[in-house]
């Protein structure tokens, strides 16, 4: 659902964005207000028309501000041919021009909305929604922001499933400034609490039992994102281009112009960094509750998209399965926490994106990209050099299992090269647990464990360490000892 407005030039530049939790942006210290005029209202209306058309908005001067009304039914009218319609009253946004070129943006409340589709309905309702912010056209974003919503409810009904989502009090803050590269740099933090979801599958066969509903609850979650030199103006220009060319045929008539605007977005940002966290997750499955104490994740990349490192981190702690789900002989080996940290490099996403733009053809009704084009794009993506995977210290922990792995592998030819280090704490306990693991305790498995223990080197606290080296000829060494023979070339 739209929840923020962007501006450009020295005038209001507006485009609707989708808001995951319907939070809002309030203002910081204000400059002096500029009194609204009918002429100013017309200029805003003309500018808004570039981004969302003329039929869906109206602008009037009211008191000390401009009032912008959005009609979502008219905004989404072009989708009626695909069976999409909207029930929602007009939504209002108040904006006030500042004498330093910035704009104050304010909103109080959000109307309920229902979207009707061929395969179901989607309803969204927000309570206690507040929006306010200070937007600076010179930087293409908000200088500072803060907002909240007391409660959000989402309902989805389709022939196959009914879904209900409820989100409690949520809060968001944002900051922004001019980037040295001419774009927009900023940061966003969002916190949500009391999140619940209920999914009920529809009964398809009367002769079969109705599917059991699945529910999920989270005590809270948060998102922190930062970005540097994001191409906001280029993004808005591309949006205006799509509004001016609403059909494929119209886009095909100016295909070179479209390609030029797509290229201007590369890279979309010089740096992206995201962190998310969720607490006290409980999923009620047909087998019973599955709980996770904490989930944390991180994604970071520079020159997005590019061939720079992509860093991904995921961690799950205090994992608990329903009683009886894991066989008794596997309880001691069932993970209670997992942490995976990797960096991936060598994929040239920028070259692939450039190739896709070059190969795109909008004329006619066939695929925009052919199968041959897809092969060329893939080749470009793989042209960034050897694929390099760096495993940062990662860990799997269970009652009788404690493994840590790290290392680096490159894939340049038929065989990977690199080094992987594995550490096992209390390995004798792990062996004992596997010996008691019934079907897992085969002679081959036990023999492999015995060999692994013999190859391991113990450090000062008794932790066993294995350093595996992979050579270009396929040879493998563990702690310096050859493991078998190198395969024939």
Do residues 140 and 177 make contact, with C-beta atoms less than 8 angstroms apart? no
Reported confidence tier of residue 4, pLDDT bands at 50, 70, 90: very low
Q: What is the pLDDT of residue 31?
A: 58
Nearest to 423 by CA among 447, 396, 445, 400: 396
Is pTM, for the whole model, over 0.85?
A: no
DSSP string, 12-56: ------B-SS-------S---B----HHHHHHHHHHHHHHH-STT
Nearest to 167 by CA among 244, 239, 221, 225: 221
Nearest to 479 by CA among 468, 463, 464, 470: 468
3-state secondary structure of 14: coil
Which residues are bridge partners to 269 per DSSP? 304
| Mean predicted confidence (pLDDT) in 207-227 | 90
Q: Where are the beta strands (DSSP E) in 401-486?
A: 401-411, 416-424, 457-458, 464-470, 476-478, 481-482
Do residues 382 and 347 make contact, with C-beta atoms less than 8 angstroms apart? yes
pLDDT at 42 over 90: yes
What is the rounded distance in angstroms from the CA atom of residue 355 to the CA atom of residue 254?
18
CB atoms within 10 A of CB 413: 9
CB atoms within 10 A of CB 293: 16
3-state secondary structure of 291: strand
pLDDT in tens, 299-330: 998 888 776 678 999 999 999 998 888 888 88
pLDDT at 22 over 80: no
pLDDT in tens, 429-486: 999 999 888 888 888 988 989 999 999 999 988 899 999 999 988 899 999 998 866 5
Nearest to 152 by CA among 120, 173, 190, 123: 123
Q: What is the pLDDT of residue 487?
A: 58
What is the rounded distance in angstroms from the CA atom of residue 175 to the CA atom of residue 142?
6
| Mean predicted confidence (pLDDT) in 243-254 | 93
Q: What is the pLDDT of residue 193?
A: 97
Q: What is the pLDDT of residue 8?
A: 35
What is the rounded distance in angstroms from the CA atom of residue 459 to the CA atom of residue 66?
71
Which residues are within 8 A (CB) of 212 and not within 5 positions of it... i.e. 6 or more apart?
286
pLDDT in tens, 128-183: 999 999 988 888 789 989 899 999 999 999 998 999 999 999 999 999 999 988 89
Total residues belonging to the chain: 489
What is the rounded distance in angstroms from the CA atom of residue 116 to the CA atom of residue 222?
30
What is the rounded distance in angstroms from the CA atom of residue 59 to the CA atom of residue 46?
10
Token representation of residue 376:
């060329």
Q: Where are the beta strands (DSSP E) in 231-363?
A: 269-285, 288-304, 310-320, 337-345
Nearest to 105 by CA among 236, 235, 16: 16
pLDDT at 28 over 50: no
Do residues 466 and 481 make contact, with C-beta atoms less than 8 angstroms apart? no
Which residues are within 8 A (CB) of 300 and not within 5 positions of it... i.e. 6 or more apart?
271, 272, 273, 274, 310, 311
What is the rounded distance in angstroms from the CA atom of residue 318 to the CA atom of residue 99?
54
What is the rounded distance in angstroms from the CA atom of residue 489 to the CA atom of residue 487?
6
CB atoms within 10 A of CB 253: 13
Cβ burial of 276 (10 Å; 0-12, 13-18, 19+) is: middle
């Amino acid at each position: 659902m739209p929840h923020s407005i962007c501006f450009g030039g020295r005038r209001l530049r507006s485009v609707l964005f989708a808001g995951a939790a319907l939070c809002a942006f309030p203002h910081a210290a204000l400059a002096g207000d500029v009194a609204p005029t009918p002429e100013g209202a017309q200029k805003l209306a003309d500018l808004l028309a570039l981004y969302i058309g003329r039929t869906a908005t109206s602008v009037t001067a009211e008191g000390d501000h401009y009032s912008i009304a959005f009609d979502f039914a008219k905004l989404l009218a072009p989708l009626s041919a695909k069976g999409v319609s909207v029930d929602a009253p007009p939504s209002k946004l108040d904006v006030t021009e500042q004498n330093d070129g910035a704009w104050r943006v304010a909103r109080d409340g959000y109307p309920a909305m229902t979207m009707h589709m061929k395969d179901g309905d989607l309803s969204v309702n927000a309570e206690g929604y507040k929006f306010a912010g200070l937007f600076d056209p010179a930087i293409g974003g908000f200088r500072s922001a803060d907002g909240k919503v007391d409660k959000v409810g989402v309902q989805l009904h389709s022939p196959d499933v009914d879904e209900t989502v409820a989100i409690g009090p949520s809060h968001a803050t944002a900051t922004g400034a001019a980037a040295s590269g001419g774009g927009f740099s900023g940061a966003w933090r969002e916190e949500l609490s009391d999140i619940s979801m209920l999914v009920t599958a529809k009964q398809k066969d009367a002769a079969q039992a109705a599917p059991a509903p699945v529910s999920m609850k989270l005590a809270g979650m948060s998102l922190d994102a930062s970005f540097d030199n994001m191409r906001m103006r280029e993004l808005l220009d591309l949006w205006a281009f799509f509004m001016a060319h609403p059909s494929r045929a119209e886009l095909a008539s100016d295909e070179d112009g479209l390609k030029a605007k797509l290229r201007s977005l590369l890279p979309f940002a010089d740096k992206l960094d995201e962190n998310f966290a969720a607490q006290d997750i409980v999923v009620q499955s047909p087998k019973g509750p599955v709980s996770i104490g904490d989930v944390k994740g991180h994604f970071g990349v520079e020159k997005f998209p590019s061939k720079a490192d992509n860093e991904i981190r995921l961690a799950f702690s205090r994992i608990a399965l329903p009683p009886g789900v894991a066989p008794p002989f596997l309880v001691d080996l069932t993970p209670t926490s997992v942490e995976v940290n990797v960096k991936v490099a060598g994929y040239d996403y920028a070259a692939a994106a450039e190739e896709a733009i070059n190969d795109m053809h909008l004329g006619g009704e066939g695929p925009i990209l052919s199968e041959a084009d897809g092969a060329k794009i893939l080749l470009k993506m793989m042209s960034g050099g050897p694929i390099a995977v760096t495993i940062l210290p990662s860990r799997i922990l269970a009652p009788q299992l404690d493994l840590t792995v790290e290392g680096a592998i490159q894939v340049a030819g038929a065989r990977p090269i690199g080094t992987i280090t594995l550490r096992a704490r209390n390995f004798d306990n792990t062996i004992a647990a596997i010996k008691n693991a019934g079907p897992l305790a085969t002679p081959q498995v036990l023999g492999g464990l015995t060999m692994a223990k013999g190859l391991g080197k113990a450090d000062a606290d008794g932790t066993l360490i294995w350093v595996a080296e992979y050579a270009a000829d396929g040879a493998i060494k563990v702690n310096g000892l050859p493991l078998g023979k190198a395969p024939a070339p």
